[in-house]
Amino acid sequence: MNLGTSAIIGGMLFVLAIFVGLFAPWLAHTDPVMGANLVNAEEPPSWIWWFGTDAQGRDIYSRVVHGARISLTVGIVSQLVNSVIGVTLGLTAGYWGGWWDDVVNGLTNVMLAIPSLIFALAIMAVLGPGLTSLLIALGLTNWSFTCRIARASTLSLKSQGYVQAARVLGYGDLRIMITQLLPNMIGPIIVIGTLGMGGAVLAEASLSFLGLGIRPPYPSWGSMLSEARDQITTAPWLSVFPGLAIFLTVLGLNLLGDGLRDVLDPQSRSRRT
């Protein structure tokens, strides 16, 4: 598949997910939490209940639509936190070098050595379940790749003539980092960020599945899977639809990331035209 089309397909899936999340109250048929009615319990998918209903008679379609809000919020916000931490550490470490570089390098290596999901689990265990602690736990544990990329880009960019020229013109360090270095490394950072967002959506699902993420009755895709665990044979639609939502969103983000890698790669722009 052409990487340009994969970026477009991925982007469309991601935009669709965001659209669903933004307009959830209008798209949903019933209230995802309060819309329980035992009369409709465990209905299979039909023209009335598109994705079926659960044991309490709540509309799965409405819950998946609302779940997009939480899953995407976690994915986007936690990855933004990761990117900011990673870029800040990597950029300053690469630019200043010295002991600060050693500290950041050490920290990055420690982070890479601990499985990030286990680390996030530990943080969640301390902070307790909930959206805020989920954002903190996922936002603090996945910046090491971004940091590595930012540091490596800084090391190769800082000897470029235009960075030297900026210093000669009297630019301060911060200004050089923001105006000269950051714009020239933003491509790979965005790619890593997009892929990381997919990872964060998955991590949210995993944590919620383990009961440490979003607590029921509020719907996130992961917590819905967790609740559906026991009925996977009797009412498979309970797990199929949130699972499909996760799958499509993460697939979209990965396709987008791969496609962007090609589009944003500075190597593919010719130096001379």
Amino acid letter for position 121: L
For residue 168, state whether it binds other proteins (rule: CB under 8 A): yes
Provide the token pair at 33. 């939490």
Q: Which is nearer to other proteins, 63 or 158 (CB)?
A: 158
Separation of alpha carbons 52 and 29, rounded Å: 12
**135 versus 157: smaller Cβ distance to other proteins:** 157
* Phi, psi for residue 59 in degrees, rounded to 5: -75, 115
Q: Which of residues 227-266 bind other proteins (CB under 8 A)?
A: 266
Q: Which stretch binds other proteins (CB under 8 A): 5-13, 25-33, 101-109, 172-180?
A: 172-180
Q: Does 270 bind other proteins (CB under 8 A)?
A: yes
Task: Check residue 5 for interaction with other proteins (CB under 8 A).
Answer: no
Q: Which stretch binds other proteins (CB under 8 A): 20-28, 160-168, 219-227, 249-257?
A: 160-168
Of the chain, the end-to-end C-alpha distance in Å amounts to 27
Q: How far is the CB of 57 from other proteins (least distance, A)?
A: 55
> DSSP readout, 191-217?
HHHHHHHHHHHHHHHHHHHTTSSSPTT
Q: Rounded to the nearest whole angstrom, what is the least distance from the CB of residue 182 to other proteins in the complex?
A: 9
| Tokens, residue 22 | 């933004």
Name the one range near other proteins by CB under 8 A: 60-68, 168-176, 193-201, 230-238: 168-176
Interface residue with other proteins, options 25, 162, 174, 244 (CB under 8 A): 162
DSSP β-bridge partners for residue 53: 59
For the chain, the helix, strand and coil percentages under 3-state DSSP, each to the nearest 5: 75, 0, 25
